[in-house]
Amino acid sequence: MNKKRQTNYTQLRVSNIPFDCTSSEYKYYKETIPSFLGEAVYIYSFKENRMLYANGWFDLLGYTDDEITLLTIVSITTPKFEEFSQELNDKALHFLATKSEQLEKYSFTLETEKVHKNGRHVPLFSRVGVFKSENGKITEIMGVSQIIKTLKRGKVMQFSAYGPEKSEFEETISKELFNQFVISGREKEALELAAKGYAFKEIAIALNVSQSAVEKRIIPMYKRFNVSSLPHLINFAHINHIL
Does this model's pTM top 0.85? My answer is: no
Quick one: DSSP state of residue 77? B
Judge contact between 213 and 204, C-beta under 8 A: yes
Answer yes or no: is pLDDT of 177 > 80.
no
For the stretch 14-53, pLDDT in tens is: 999 999 999 999 999 999 999 898 999 999 999 999 999 9
Cβ burial, residue 62 (10 Å; 0-12/13-18/19+): middle
Strand partners, 159: 110, 184
- Under a CB-based contact definition with an 8 Å cutoff, are residues 199 and 213 in contact? no
Distance CA 214, CA 208 (A): 10
Return the amino acid letter for 52.
Answer: L
Dihedral sign (CA 221, 225, 226, 227): negative
Structure confidence at residue 189 as a pLDDT band (50, 70, 90): very high
**Of 158 and 66, the one with more pLDDT:** 66
Domain ranges within the chain, ordered by starting residue: 9-174, 186-239
- How sure is the predictor about 171, in pLDDT bands with cuts at 50, 70 and 90? confident
> How would CATH label the architecture of 9-174?
2-Layer Sandwich (3.30)
Q: Between the ranges 43-52, 78-87, 183-192, 226-235, where is the mean pLDDT highest?
A: 43-52
Strand partners, 122: 114
Q: Residues 6 or more apart from 113 whose CB is under 8 A from it?
A: 77, 78, 80, 81, 121, 122, 123, 124, 153
Q: Which CATH architecture has domain 186-239?
A: Orthogonal Bundle (1.10)
